[in-house]
Amino acid sequence: MSGFVKVAKVEELPPGQGKCLTAGAAQIALFNAGGSFYAVDNTCTHAGGPLGEGMLEGDQVECPWHGARFSVKTGEALTPPAFEKVASYKVRVNGSDIEVEL
């Protein structure tokens, strides 16, 4: 699968929230950071924690398992114990749909 795929409705994800979802073969963490939507791989590069269930602060998410922080904009690992980035995905809003490019 490739191209933009609808993954959620805008009203399902208020600012400051995240969610885990499956799009095609990808496990994605989708976030609303202050009204802008971002998507990264859901699986933490430390030990596989679900980033979509983590606490979002600004444009950083804290892994719920051991506290590594990632940029939701770039997927960059910002604090230990994770050192490798997660993949990030392009996101667009199409009407009331949130779409992710796979």
* Binding residues for ligand FES (CB under 6 A): 44, 46-49, 63, 65-68, 81-82
Cβ 51 to ligand FES, closest distance in Å? 7
Cβ 76 to ligand FES, closest distance in Å? 14
| Closer residue to ligand FES in complex, CB, 48/58 | 48
Cβ 11 to ligand FES, closest distance in Å? 29
| Closer residue to ligand FES in complex, CB, 10/78 | 78
64: left (phi over 0), alpha (psi -120 to 50) or beta: alpha
Cβ 88 to ligand FES, closest distance in Å? 16
Express the helix, strand and coil content of the chain in percent, nearest 5 each. 5, 50, 45
Cα R_g (the chain), whole angstroms: 12
| Closer residue to ligand FES in complex, CB, 28/98 | 28
Alpha-carbon torsion, ordered 46, 56, 33, 92, to 10 deg:
40
- In the DSSP assignment, the letter for residue 14 is -
